[in-house]
Amino acid sequence: MIKQLSIKNYAIIDHLEIELDKGFSVITGETGSGKSIILGALQLIMGNRADINVIRDKTNKCIIEAVFDIDCYRLESFFESQDLDYDAHNTLIRRELQANGKSRAFINDSPVRLEILKELCSYLIDIHSQQQSYLLNEMHFQLKLIDAIASKGFDNHQNILSEYQASYKGLSKLQKELQQVLEQGESSKNQLDYYSFLLEEIEAANLKAGEKEELDAQFQRIENREQVLSALQRVSYTLENNHQSDPINSQLSTIVQDLQKIAGIDSNYQQLNDRLQSLLIELKEISKDSEILAEQLEVQELNPEQISERLDLINNLEQKHRVIDFNELLELEIDLKQKVSSLSNVEKKIAEIESAINNEQSLLSNLADKLRTNRKFVLKEIEDFIIDKLLGLGIKNAQFKIDLKYLDRFNKDGKDQAKFLFTANKGMKLQELSKVASGGENSRLMLCIKALLAKHLNLPTIIFDEIDTGVSGEVAGKVGKTLYEMSSQMQVIAISHLPQVAAQASHHFRVLKEDSQGFSQTRFLKLEQEQRIEELAKMLSGERISEAAIENAKSLMAG
């Protein structure tokens, strides 16, 4: 509840301090006295957009402060999540405006964004105006009312609704993802065909790492076969089998023997001996390898046409794909495989998403059925309560019914569509509220709904801005009585111009405008018993208060 409200430098208010209490408080005053200004200041506290024109003195800041007792709202987790100090009985909310357009908001002296301020105040204050009555015609509001009552009747209803809404968000996300993948799949189909064709062509070539170098070498050996064979044979023969003179290896062996005899005389001789022995071993290996290579070349069956064709194929692929060398061609093959695999996975991805969508829809259907069962159970309670209240508020032939239609599609609150049906005339067919209810009837219907919610839920402070518009006499008294009954569950503040409503309040405040030092200022007075009687009498008879008006006022207070 609101405990205190402080307004500084706002519109025609220089400085105003208001102490508020539990129960039902009424605010009265002449037109233009500043009742709506106080409401506007409260809306700033709730995070509404600021207008610098409301700043009275542009050289100073406009400051609106409100102190709340929030002990019964279970908001500890909100404060913890926002890293704010929690004070159950004295939570301070402040809004500051400057003439340069800058605006700041604070919760318990910690600066916060307006979104945070709005969220907190949505738990604390509900300002009901004439415009809000038209929410009755919105289907989302109608279903929200049913869910509020169902949540009180069924402990699991809110959990089911929360689970459904989370799943619905998940479904929407999956459907968007599917659409994106489908669009990507359509646009990439041509790419897939193109890359697959290129890959098939390269894979058909069955390329091997190092293959081109080997083919080039083979081709060179074929082209120079006789020359190569002659050279290899001559090396082997000269080193091992030269009959005109001793073979080189034989001659070297003789030299090695000579050096071995003198190796022990000097280290330099030993080094010559070692080097020559190494050379002898290497020459023997060269002779052996030359012989082997020559034998291989003699028996090797190489088809020059096949090798030439293979090289032509590789060269053509390199030119076609504009690669620098054979290794880059092999890298291209790997890259094409990755691209084809990625594009081919689109179909698999589509199947996976569609399966996930089916699972989500199955869960949603189950949850939607549970929500519908709970909602149907509370419809009669809502209908009976509202009809009873409407009768008490002077709509004698009121009929009210909720049409809960089951849809063939999911929406964010289930598969239900709620419509409020109403008629105020006997014998008339029930029709949608928006088509038949007048402004005054809408206001009384909304009052009934607020009373119903107050009965079942822990609502925040509610402020009614002339909820009694369009009523008078006995009906006005019943409106006041309804507001008073609501105040047993919550703090109710009503701005009213009707004495029948004001008389029902536990606390009465009067707003008046005074001229002082060339400026108009708003004052806010809490009225005591005699002052209340005088104010009610004035509301009944005007500025000239008659004895009859005084007695009538006393009667209203007693009643």
What does the H/E/C string look like for 178-219? HHHHHHHHHHHHHHHHHHHHHHHHHHHHCCCCCHHHHHHHHH
- As a whole number of angstroms, the distance between CA 38 and CA 515 comes to 18
Instruction: Please report where in the chains the tokens 């290579």 appear, as a residue.
Output: 293
Confidence of residue 299 (pLDDT cuts 50, 70, 90): low
**Which tokens belong to 307?**
């090798």
Q: Give me the pLDDT at residue 214, please.
A: 75
CA pair distance 117, 84, nearest whole angstrom? 12
Show the DSSP H helices in 408-503 as ranges: 433-436, 439-456, 473-486, 499-502
Q: Does residue 305 belong to any structural domain of this protein?
A: yes
Whole-angstrom distance, CA of residue 395 vs CA of residue 397: 6
In this structure, of 242-246, 363-367, 472-476, 550-554, the range with the lowest mean pLDDT score is 242-246
Distance of CA 422 to the CA centre of its chain: 38
Predicted model pTM: 0.65
User: Would you state the pLDDT for residue 246?
Assistant: 64
| Token pair listed for 289 | 């390898």
Query: Tell me, what CATH number does 489's domain have?
Result: 3.40.50.300
Number of domains in the chain: 2
- Better-predicted residue by pLDDT, 274 or 344: 274
The domain boundary residue, chosen from 314, 343, 372: 343
**DSSP-assigned beta bridge partners for residue 179:** none
Q: Establish if 208 belongs to a structural domain.
A: yes
Contacts of 85 (CB under 8 A, 6+ apart): 79, 108, 109, 110
Q: Is the pLDDT of residue 457 over 90?
A: no
For residue 74, is it within any domain?
A: yes
C-alpha–C-alpha distance, residues 312 and 304, integer Å: 12
Do both 106 and 196 map to the same domain?
no
Residue 466 banded pLDDT, cuts 50, 70, 90: confident
CA distances from 343 to 71, 192, 201, 333, 336 (A): 59, 6, 18, 15, 11
Please tell me the chain's helix, strand, coil percentages from 3-state DSSP, rounded to the nearest 5.
60, 20, 25
518 pLDDT more than 70: no
Residues sharing a CB contact under 8 Å with residue 367, sequence separation 6 or more, in sequence order = 160, 163, 164, 167, 414
Residue 558 lies in a domain: no
Task: Tell me: pLDDT of 90 over 60.
Answer: yes
Average pLDDT over residues 502-511: 93
User: Bigger pLDDT: 128 or 457?
Assistant: 128
Contact 447, 469 (CB under 8 A): no
Q: Which of 523, 558, 554, 553 is nearest to 538 (CA)?
A: 553
* Segments forming the whole domain that contains residue 218: 189-343
Which of 311, 343, 375 is where one domain is finished? 343
